[in-house]
């Protein structure tokens, strides 16, 4: 007899409620060794590999690749390697009971069942009324007075259909007012001629009828109608093809659904305000070009500048949890990385203590693993501040949405040459536009302005980095 056990959807982190089978690593009935990758599970944040804890085989695969299942759902049946009978497998599947993984406010937020409407007051059926048993039961349960119902059954008997008709609301006619009529006037004309004259704006008083006794007819009115204007020349434009009507429906991935939910909650619940400033980056560009060997990106310098500015203005280095503000001793910077599955924000922890070269290596590694879906949950959880840079895509300036529970996010645009007053002279200097989005519940405008001033001073004096 084979040793069978269940293979269920794992739970990584307290916020995980469901996962998607991105790919099965082994087929049903195929033996595998300890350490083999059994499946790729995609959550709203990461994609993890599930490795085999011992030798064995899947004797039944229940879940399908690409579909989403709740935490604790039965995905497959495992065997220690021996063959199992269908009866043994069916017994495992039939006896499985999924554990309740709900928690917190989500479990408490289940709406109560709607209260049943109060029963209608029962109307007594007078004696002597011909009514079918089904109609009597329907009338009593709905509280309908059958004395006012004219039966349509044999001998005037009230049927269930009569009760249903009586229970319906009375249809009201949709009155549009009187139909507009053409004034008769004094002209002697046929009704069709009057209608044509009214339609084309022809005065019947000025027409001479060709009909019997001088009666104005259809032909007389049409002859008085002004000749139609010549039709315009046909257009020389090429014909526009009709729309194909083809629409591709792409279901949201688990990550995209989470992004949509979190950003919607952020804009609805967090009072955003924005502080914008432009900074000169010519000195920073020159400092970077002077480096021999691998050069950090401009974004790596910005991560370091944000970290030092947060140490100078700790009121911005925060998270907001209900009525509490959490201030952090380290600047844990979340860097936005675009992937095929959506935007993810891996975190550079304690960035204020790292060199720009160290930050460059860490950000490159995090970005590469984010695009391949190999980030650990602790590498994308938390963070005290976010940085989103779209300058590489040619965007001059934009406003970002705060990533809760963080209190602020910096949006960075591309560096463009702009005229500035440089010690009394007008010069064209590369300028970068910054936009700081702040949670007004915890950050005041003055604190945000002090942070932007500290950040601008660091960027414009890059040797301080």
pLDDT in the model for residue 437: 97
Q: What is the pLDDT, as a whole number, of residue 435?
A: 97
Tell me what the mean pLDDT of segment 246-275 comes to. 89
| Domains of the chain: total | 2
| Structure confidence at residue 347 as a pLDDT band (50, 70, 90) | very high
Tens of pLDDT, residue by residue over 202-259, are 888 878 888 887 888 888 888 888 665 555 666 667 788 888 888 989 888 877 888 8
Residue 147 within a domain: no
Q: Is residue 35 part of a domain?
A: yes
Return the CATH number at 65. 2.40.50.100
pLDDT of residue 46: 74
Structural domain contains residue 79: yes
Query: Quick one: pLDDT at residue 106?
Result: 43
* Nearest residue to 262 via CA among 409, 447, 392, 47: 409
Q: Strand, coil or helix: what is 133?
A: helix
Helix (H, G, I), strand (E, B) or coil at 216: strand
Residue 252 has what pLDDT?
84
**Of 110-119, 123-132, 270-279, which has the strongest mean pLDDT?**
270-279
Q: How many residues does the chain have?
A: 465
Within a domain: 60: yes
Q: Is the pLDDT of residue 312 over 80?
A: yes
CATH number reported for the structural domain that contains residue 371 in this entry: 3.30.559.10
What pLDDT does residue 339 have? Answer: 84
What value does the CA radius of gyration of the chain take, rounded to a whole number of Å? 39
Rounded CA-CA distance 95/5 in Å is 11
Q: Which residues make Cβ contacts (< 8 Å) with residue 259, sequence separation at least 6? A: 342, 343
CB 159 within 8 A of CB 132: yes
SS3 assignment, position 58: strand
Closest CA to 279 of 449, 464, 418, 446: 418
pLDDT digits (tens, 9 = 90+) for 414-460: 999 999 988 888 999 999 999 999 999 999 999 999 999 999 999 99
Question: Does the structure show a pLDDT above 80 at 461?
Answer: yes
For residues 170 and 261, the model is more confident at 261
Last residue of a domain, one of 74, 106, 138: 106
| Sheet of 4-8, strand order | 4-8, 74-79, 56-61, 31-32
* Banded pLDDT at 100 (limits 50, 70, 90): low
- pLDDT band at residue 123, thresholds of 50, 70 and 90? low
Mean pLDDT of the chain: 85
Nearest to 306 by CA among 157, 406, 209: 406
Burial of 402 (0-12, 13-18, 19+ CB in 10 A): buried
User: pLDDT tens for residues 403-414?
Assistant: 999 999 999 999
> How many C-beta neighbours within 10 Å does residue 41 have?
22
Q: Pick from 64-73, 163-172, 393-402 the range whose average pLDDT is largest.
A: 393-402
Residue 4 belongs to what H/E stretch? strand 4-8
Higher pLDDT, 172 or 311: 311
pLDDT band at 108 (very low <50, low <70, confident <90, very high): very low
Q: Could you give the residue ranges of the DSSP H alpha helices within 290-405? A: 298-312, 356-371
CA dist., res. 93 & res. 79, Å (int) = 13
Contact 32, 57 (CB under 8 A): yes
Between the CA of residue 80 and those of 59, 244, 288, 453, what are the distances in Å? 10, 54, 58, 64
Query: Per residue in 160-202, pLDDT tens?
Result: 888 888 887 766 666 665 545 445 456 788 888 888 888 888 8
Residue 450 and residue 458 in contact, taking contact as beta carbons nearer than 8 Å: no
Q: What percentage of residues in the chain have a pLDDT greater than 90?
A: 36
Using CA atoms, how far residue 335 sits from 316, 348, 397, 442, in Å, is 16, 7, 17, 22
In angstroms, the CA 386 to CA 335 distance is 6
Final residue belonging to a domain, choices 87, 106, 125: 106
Read off the pLDDT band of 111 (50, 70, 90).
Answer: very low
pLDDT score at 181: 46
Phi, psi of 453 (to 5 degrees): -65, -45
Give me the pLDDT at residue 107, please.
Answer: 42
Query: Among 345-349, 351-355, 375-379, which is the least confidently predicted range?
Result: 375-379
Contact of 77 with 3, CB cutoff 8 Å: no
Query: Quick check: is 159 in a domain?
Result: no
Indicate yes or no: pTM above 0.85: no
Q: Residue 182: what pLDDT?
A: 46
Mean pLDDT for the stretch of residues 383-401: 95
Say if 251 falls within a structural domain. Answer: no
| Mean pLDDT, residues 36-55 | 82
* Domain closes at, from 71, 87, 106: 106
pLDDT reported for residue 176: 62
Domain interval for residue 301: 271-464
Q: How far apart are CA 78 and CA 69, in angstroms?
A: 18
Residues with catalytic roles: 440
Highest mean pLDDT among 25-34, 302-311, 370-379: 302-311
- Considering the domain boundaries, does residue 228 fall inside one? no
Q: Please state, in angstroms and rounded to a whole number, the distance separating the CA atoms of residues 69 and 11.
A: 11
Asked if the structure places residue 154 within a domain, the reply is no
Structure tokens given for 161: 């259909």
Residue 32: which of 58, 6, 50 has the closest Cα?
58
Tokens of 158: 């009230």
């Amino acid at each position: 007899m084979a040793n069978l056990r269940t293979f269920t959807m794992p739970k990584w982190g307290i916020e995980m409620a469901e996962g998607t089978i991105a790919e099965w690593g082994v087929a049903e009935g195929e033996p595998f060794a300890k350490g083999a990758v059994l499946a790729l599970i995609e959550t709203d944040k990461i994609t993890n590999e599930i490795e085999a804890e011992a030798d064995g085989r899947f004797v039944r695969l229940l879940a399908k690749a690409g579909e989403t299942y709740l935490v604790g759902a039965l995905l497959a049946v495992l065997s220690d390697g021996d063959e199992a009978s269908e009866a043994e497998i069916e017994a495992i599947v039939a006896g499985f009971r999924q554990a309740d993984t709900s928690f917190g406010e989500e479990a408490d937020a289940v709406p109560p069942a709607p209260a049943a409407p109060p029963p209608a007051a029962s109307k007594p059926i007078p004696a002597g009324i011909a009514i079918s048993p089904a109609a009597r039961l329907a009338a009593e349960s709905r509280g309908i007075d059958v004395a006012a119902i004219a039966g349509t059954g044999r001998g005037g008997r009230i049927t269930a259909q009569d009760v249903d008709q009586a229970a319906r609301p009375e249809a009201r006619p949709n009155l549009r007012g009187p139909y507009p009529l053409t004034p008769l006037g004094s002209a002697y004309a046929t009704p069709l001629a009057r209608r044509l004259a009214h339609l084309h704006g022809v005065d019947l008083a000025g027409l001479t009828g060709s009909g019997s006794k001088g009666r104005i007819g259809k032909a007389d009115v049409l002859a008085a109608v002004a000749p139609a204007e010549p039709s315009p020349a046909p257009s020389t434009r090429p014909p526009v093809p009709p729309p194909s009507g083809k629409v591709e429906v792409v279901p949201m991935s688990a990550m995209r659904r989470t992004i949509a939910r979190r950003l919607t909650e952020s804009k609805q619940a967090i009072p955003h305000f924005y502080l914008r400033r432009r900074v000169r980056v010519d000195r920073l560009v020159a400092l970077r070009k002077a480096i021999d060997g691998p050069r950090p990106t401009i974004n790596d310098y910005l991560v370091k500048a944000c970290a030092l500015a947060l140490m100078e203005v700790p009121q911005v280095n925060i998270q907001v949890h209900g009525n509490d503000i959490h201030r952090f001793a380290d600047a844990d910077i979340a860097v936005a990385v675009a992937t095929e599955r959506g935007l993810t924000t891996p975190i550079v922890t304690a960035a204020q203590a790292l060199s720009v070269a160290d930050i460059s290596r860490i950000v490159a590694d995090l970005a590469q693993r984010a695009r391949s879906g190999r980030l650990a949950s602790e590498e994308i959880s938390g963070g005290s501040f976010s940085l989103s840079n779209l300058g590489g895509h040619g965007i001059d300036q934009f406003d970002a949405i705060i990533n809760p529970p963080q209190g602020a996010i910096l949006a960075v645009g591309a560096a463009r040459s702009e005229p500035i007053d440089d010690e009394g002279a007008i010069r064209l200097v590369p300028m970068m536009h910054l936009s700081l989005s702040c949670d007004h519940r915890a950050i005041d405008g003055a604190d945000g302005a002090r942070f932007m001033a500290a950040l601008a001073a660091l960027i414009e004096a890059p040797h301080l980095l």
